[in-house]
A and B are shown apart, each in its own frame.
Chain A
Amino acid sequence: MSTAQQIPLVSYLHLTPSPHLVANECTSCGARFFDRRNACAGCFQTEFRPVDIPTTGVLKAFTIVAFAAPGVPVPFVAGIVDCGGTSVRGNVINTDPTPEKVSLGMKLRLATYSLGTDDEGVEAIGFGFEPA
């Protein structure tokens, strides 16, 4: 085996062919969701298709969290990124978590990082958004 086995932090992060997010899109009204669905919250229909979400976007809201639950490293930037009309929740990474470096409207692109390897040698991959 030349490459270690990898698993995404969440199932809507797809690692191949290159890292991107995949939403469940309602085939009836087009609403997009990232979780396992029972029905569409908008129109109550039950059929969905997977759609790839653009990997670039614009930061439309953020906070710099300085105080979090034990075990959560701070500070970090939590944000909402508008990826071509679909809102995505994620951290702004690979930049200083300061108001000088992070601003509303800044352009971002998807980036991944390693969460580490478990006892069976599987590496978990997380995602965030970095300045584009």
Chain B
Amino acid sequence: MATDDIYILGISMTKFGKHADKDIVDLGAEAAMAALRDGGVSMRDMGILAAGNLMGAGGYGQQLQKQIGQTGIPVYNVSNACATGATALRTAIMAVKSGEVRMGLAVGAEKLAGAGLLGGGGQGKKDSNKWEPKGRYGAVAPTDGRIGTDTMPGTFAQVGMEYGHKYGGVSFELFAKISEKNHAHSTLNPMAAYQKRFTLEEIMGDMMIAYPNTRPMCSANCDGAAAAVVTSGEVLKTLSADQRRRAIKVSASVLTTDPYQEACQILPDVNTLTRNAATIAYEQAGVSPTDLDLVELHDCFATAELVHYDNLMLCPEGGAVDFFMSGAPWRDGKTPVNVSGGLQSKGHPISATGIANIWEICHHLRGEAGDRQIKDAKVGLAHVIGLGSACGVHILERSAA
């Protein structure tokens, strides 16, 4: 191992689902303490805490630290849409990489069970008694529902449909089949919020949210947390044989935002920043898409999963429909995608997601994934994207030690 390589020493996630009797600090503490135990280290070894939480009141890292260990280390509170967890991890990685700290802890936690529709707000929209231009568009009344939609299911529905307009081959049934795959995968994952297999008919016949996304084709709002301990190759060399064996190499850690493209301020462009992040990640890792044994990508909606096959270059440009129809992303296919069940069934407690998907990859690379183990997995990729936009891509490899 090279001394400047980065490793995940310990990693953990809570079960995703409803945790009515736990708050975000309980959930984060559970994940953080389990990650420290998993890595065979303690808060005393940590040089930095990067804490991700989106929906809370702020200052989450300090609240967490009060419960798990106040050692005086710097806390970075991170908020970066659905890429919050990945951003927390990347913050800890940068601190280790810079040489300022020997080890770092990244945590992401969210309480989202019962949150309902995201984007466009749960607030009622009401016109005032006087038409007065406000904001950057000089709008005299709320525009959500009048000039397109601000809802997440509707936004990502358009993302999938736009891909169909460009390359053809999409249909309601195709998108439903993607969801059928992820729900089928979830039956093997005891950490998933939902482990129910749905038939195609059940998925298509369920409540329509934003055509073509029905309810089971949308990410599941739930509670959960995930945490990871990172360190350098130099430090890892000094640790025990067992710690070295279970350490997972972070071959690439990349964060991007959306570069300007025509129409990107009309419909968010979730494609270019993902493709850019993937390109940099493959280059950093010296890995090509065909080397990947498994991928956890950001299937916030069934319509989103399709475009990311292409953006992550798992298929030739424009070939996402053919890639899916070939069976490639099923767990027994050429490039298994979302064997955890994905956000549609494992769930999407926003800030936890970007570390939990890395936990899933690590679990397989360590050969500890039980019934859903992808046999002899050596390399995996984890992807998240948050609107606004932010994209995190990490490539992980089994330790050679």
A residues sitting closer than 8 Å to B (CB atoms) are 7-12, 31-36, 41-42, 59-74, 76, 78-80, 85-91, 99, 104-105, 115-116, 118-120, 122, 124, 126-127
Contacts and interface: CB of A to CB of B under 8 A. Distances in A.
B216 to A, nearest CB: 14
B262 A90 contact: no
Interface of B: 117, 120-131, 133, 136-151, 153-155, 157-159, 161-162, 164-166, 172, 207-213, 260, 262-267
A69 B131 contact: no
B260 A31 contact: yes
Contacts, number: 176
22 contacts: A9-B140, A9-B141, A9-B147, A10-B137, A10-B140, A11-B139, A35-B137, A41-B264, A60-B162, A63-B213, A64-B210, A65-B149, A65-B211, A68-B117, A69-B121, A69-B122, A69-B125, A70-B122, A76-B145, A91-B145, A115-B131, A122-B130
A57 to B, nearest CB: 12
Task: For the complex of A and B, list the 9 residue pairs with the smallest distance between their C-beta atoms, beginning with the closest.
Answer: A11-B138, A72-B145, A87-B263, A63-B157, A64-B211, A61-B162, A71-B125, A35-B136, A78-B149
Given A79-B158, A99-B172, A67 B131 contact: no
Contacts of A34: 137, 265-266
Given A63-B158, A69-B120, 10 more contacts: A42-B260, A62-B158, A63-B155, A64-B208, A67-B208, A69-B122, A70-B123, A72-B120, A80-B158, A87-B263
A19 B149 CA distance: 22
B265 A61 contact: no
Q: Which of A34, A63, A68, A118 has the most CB of B within 10 A?
A: A63
Contacts of B172: 99
Contacts of A91: 145-148
